[in-house]
């Protein structure tokens, strides 16, 4: 017995750490073009990593093949109730520290973090506004919010924010975010706005954030968020240092 996951790197590390803690083998399928720092960190946590021949397009098929071979249990990166509720604990802790917030903002890719954040936020205060942020070039969640049905991108989006290169949100995530109307708004940010947020995070706030983790900050700096006391979920510190060095070199 063991667990298996497909991930660009952040969920991979969480699964590897959790599996190692309870003595289970973990097998992670990571696309060949993933951030090398995330791959190395996943291996360092004891997981077996398969990258060869894994692409965004074929990863679901390869996942089914490997699951059949190994008999491992899937831990989905976002479309899983346990993962959704687990990721919601970040906002719960935020609200324990700052209970009077008016707005909570989180990145959105597949929707696990945003759905969990919305559950925690609305259970704390139903009047709290919950906002998701995604890259403009990966605006499937924005279009889903506008249309009321899951919208899917034709290909994996080309964004610097590698943690949100999904083509659609999950079914469970849609149910929470838009079916139950726990998310109030989705906003998008440009690649330049994401880059500017990385620069601010590293050079002024001194937080070693990856581009995906700066999405809420990017929206804040660009003036795209509603007013009021605002909590930003800056999630993801597994930066590709070459990317960050390039961005900081333009300061």
Q: What pLDDT does 31 receive?
A: 87
Asked whether residue 55 falls in the same domain as residue 174, the answer is: no
CATH code of the domain covering residue 17:
3.40.50.1100
pLDDT of residue 250: 79
pLDDT at residue 251, rounded to an integer: 65
- Segments forming the whole domain that contains residue 65: 3-77
**Cα 214 to the center of its chain, rounded Å:** 11
Q: Which residues contact 119 (CB under 8 A, 6 or more apart)?
A: 84, 85, 88, 176, 182
Q: How many CA atoms lie within 13 A of 224 on its CB side?
A: 23
**Measured distance CA(182)–CA(174) in Å, rounded:** 10
Nearest Cα to Cα of residue 53 among 30, 28, 84, 80: 30
Beta bridge partners of residue 133, listed in sequence order: 107, 187
3-class DSSP assignment, residue 27:
strand
Pair (146, 165) in one structural domain: yes
Tokens representing 179? 């079916």
Q: Are residues 194 and 145 in the same domain?
A: yes
Number of domains making up the chain: 2
How confident is the prediction along the chain (251 residues), in pLDDT tens digits per residue? 899 999 987 899 999 999 999 999 999 999 888 888 889 999 999 999 999 888 877 888 889 999 999 999 999 999 999 999 999 999 999 999 999 999 999 999 999 999 999 999 999 999 999 999 999 999 999 999 999 999 999 998 999 999 999 999 999 999 999 999 999 999 999 999 999 999 999 999 999 999 999 999 999 999 999 999 999 999 888 888 888 899 888 76
């Amino acid at each position: 017995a063991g667990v298996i996951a497909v991930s660009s790197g952040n969920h991979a590390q969480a699964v590897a750490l959790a599996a190692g803690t309870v003595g289970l083998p973990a097998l992670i399928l990571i696309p060949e073009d993933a951030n090398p720092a995330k791959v190395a960190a996943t291996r360092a946590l004891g997981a077996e990593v398969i990258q060869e021949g894994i692409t965004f397009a074929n990863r679901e098929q390869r996942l089914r093949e490997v699951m059949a071979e190994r008999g491992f249990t899937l831990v989905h990166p976002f479309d899983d109730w346990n993962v959704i509720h687990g990721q919601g604990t970040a906002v719960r802790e935020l609200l324990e520290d700052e209970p009077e917030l008016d707005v909570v903002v989180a990145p959105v890719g597949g929707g696990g973090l945003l759905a969990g954040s919305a559950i925690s936020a609305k259970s704390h205060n139903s009047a709290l506004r919950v906002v998701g942020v995604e890259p403009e070039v990966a605006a499937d969640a924005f279009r889903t919010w506008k249309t009321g049905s899951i919208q899917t991108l034709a290909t994996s989006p080309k964004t610097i924010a590698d943690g949100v290169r999904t083509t659609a949100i999950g079914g469970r995530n849609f149910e929470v975010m838009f079916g139950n109307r726990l998310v109030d708004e989705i906003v998008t940010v440009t690649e330049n706005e994401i880059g500017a947020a990385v620069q601010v995070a590293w050079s002024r706030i001194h937080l070693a954030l990856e581009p995906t983790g700066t999405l809420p900050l990017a929206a804040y700096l660009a003036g795209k968020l509603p007013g009021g006391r605002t909590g930003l979920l800056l999630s993801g510190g597994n930066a590709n240092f070459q990317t960050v060095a390039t961005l900081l070199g333009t300061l």
